[in-house]
Amino acid sequence: MNIKPFQMLVIAITLIALVACAAPTAAPTSAPPTKAPAPTTAPVAATSAPAATTAPAAATKAPEPTKPPVVELTKDKITLRALTPIFPGEQGKKDFEGTLLKGFQDKYPNISFQVDYLPSYGTLNEKLTTAFAAGQPPDVFQIGVGWFEAFASKNQLLDMAQCGFTKDDLSDYYQGSLDAAMWDNKLYGIPYVMDMRLLVYRKDMFQEAGLDPNKPPTTWDELREYAIKLTKRDAGGKLQRAGLDVIQVGLQGSETPRQHWYRFLWQAGGELFNKDLTAAAFNSPEGIEGLQFWVDLINKDKVTDIGFGTGIPGTSLMTVDKAAMAMVHNRYYETELKDKPDLAAKVGVIPPLKKKTQGEFIGGSYWVVAKNTKYPKEACAVVRYLTEKDLLLQGNIMRGAIPPRKSLATSDYVKGNALVKGAMDLYMPVSKKEGGPTVWLEIRSAFDPAIQDAMVGKKTPKQALDDLAAKTNDIIKQAK
């Protein structure tokens, strides 16, 4: 079914909020952490890039958002069951319960928490599916972009209007982050930590090649032209420096090339699915054009070689001067640039490219509430508390992620992280989500192998996308 415009959402939320029980808020009592956890695996739905290892200095406190009426919570002793895949291990427990939830527990000592800490998003779908089937889902938990179709369509999530979120509350969020949590014209989750796939470049290498270091490419043609000019090979044709690292396929390859390909699909004017979400649309001429452009960069323009790597685990080509431009995760700053200020100063963010239009992938984690929780007011209060500006900012610092609230673009954390700042200033305003049909979680596993088949020349872009579309349509039909 179609997702209608955000204006209709605002009307619906406003009407429902008049009768809904608004949740209380509590000011955070703990200082932002100075040490970030080291999650072992980033969300599958969002990324497979490494997590942040250290956090920048805490941001200056931003003004508080408009507060809803305070609703009295239960005085009884209760236990809320929570689940998170982004705060793994003992450090995750210290950060989540010891820091983020501390203010809430201080204010409501009768409410305790039983938290299930998953090591990653890898087992989340199975965990939740089993819990819902047994009638014992967690009261409050996290899911990623592309997950709402599956759970909201089964009436398993609480509409956030029933948590009392108002027009003022939602106005501070980037539209793309809200769109990802929509189903049937309702909002089922609140954005928490976001991430994106960025194009970045080395300013010093631009200057060396006679390109203006302050004028990165803005179109596909310019990206190709610059990539060719920046590529270096020796006399025998052996690659010395990639003009554009378009994801190393193989042992060091990305697990989610689809999330980089989306930009070319969308910028060419294509879409993932048709309007009523009943069939694939990504094998359209626009989709084929987008994948063909990417493949040609490798096989025709020779701006890189498949398997060209650093030989150093966890180290990218750009970090060791083997790439002039690259497709990266926003955590690239945290994992490789933060402790190298001289190198970080040389790295710039390429604005979203434009063919027919602009479009960039958005991923991330959302707080949601189980529809049949015994404690809806209390679970809603937790979501509202954790997504207040200061608490939400702390969570993003811990994860090295992108805050979904526009007002945090001026925080010290964002201003001190070049890639996060670039993402908020340039990419978030044109962000789009993956997913669509209720069976997206089943469909998506076929995307990355199909795109890799085209990249390595096993299939033409048209063959790869047509085969993928046929498989996708079969899954949709079987689900019906």
Q: Quote the pLDDT of residue 405.
A: 97
Identify the H or E element spanning 241: strand 239-241
- Average pLDDT of span 228-249: 93
Query: Are residues 409 and 465 part of one domain?
Result: no
Looking at every residue in the chain, the average pLDDT score rounds to 87
Chain centroid to CA 333: how far? 16
Nearest partner of 448 among 253, 317, 186, judged by Cα:
253
- Average pLDDT of span 271-280: 97
- Write the single-letter amino acid at 129: T
**Which residue's structure tokens are 């100063």?**
345
480: which residues sit within 8 A by CB, 6+ positions away? none
Query: Are residues 398 and 339 part of one domain?
Result: no
Query: Are residues 134 and 217 part of one domain?
Result: no
Query: Are residues 355 and 274 part of one domain?
Result: yes
pLDDT tens figures, 87-132: 999 999 999 999 999 999 999 999 999 999 999 998 999 999 999 9
Q: Quick check: 34 pLDDT over 80?
A: no
Q: Quick check: 4 pLDDT over 50?
A: no
On whether residue 10 sits in a domain, the answer given is yes
Q: Quick check: 371 pLDDT over 60?
A: yes
Percent of the residues in the chain that have a pLDDT greater than 90, as a whole number: 79
d(CA 212, CA 60): 34
On whether residue 79 sits in a domain, the answer given is yes
On whether residue 1 sits in a domain, the answer given is no
- Domain enclosing residue 228, as ranges: 197-361+439-479
Domain count, the chain: 2
Q: 117-135 as b/e, with b when 16 or more CB fall inside 10 Å? A: bbebbeebbebbbebbeee
Q: Quick check: 51 pLDDT over 70?
A: no
Nearest partner of 366 among 154, 171, 145, judged by Cα:
145
Q: Quick check: 30 pLDDT over 80?
A: no
Query: Are residues 355 and 260 part of one domain?
Result: yes
Q: Quick check: 5 pLDDT over 60?
A: no
On whether residue 417 sits in a domain, the answer given is yes
CATH number of 419's domain = 3.40.190.10
Query: Are residues 243 and 156 part of one domain?
Result: no
Q: Quick check: 249 pLDDT over 80?
A: no
Q: Quick check: 257 pLDDT over 80?
A: yes
Q: Quote the pLDDT of residue 253.
A: 53
pTM, entire model: 0.83
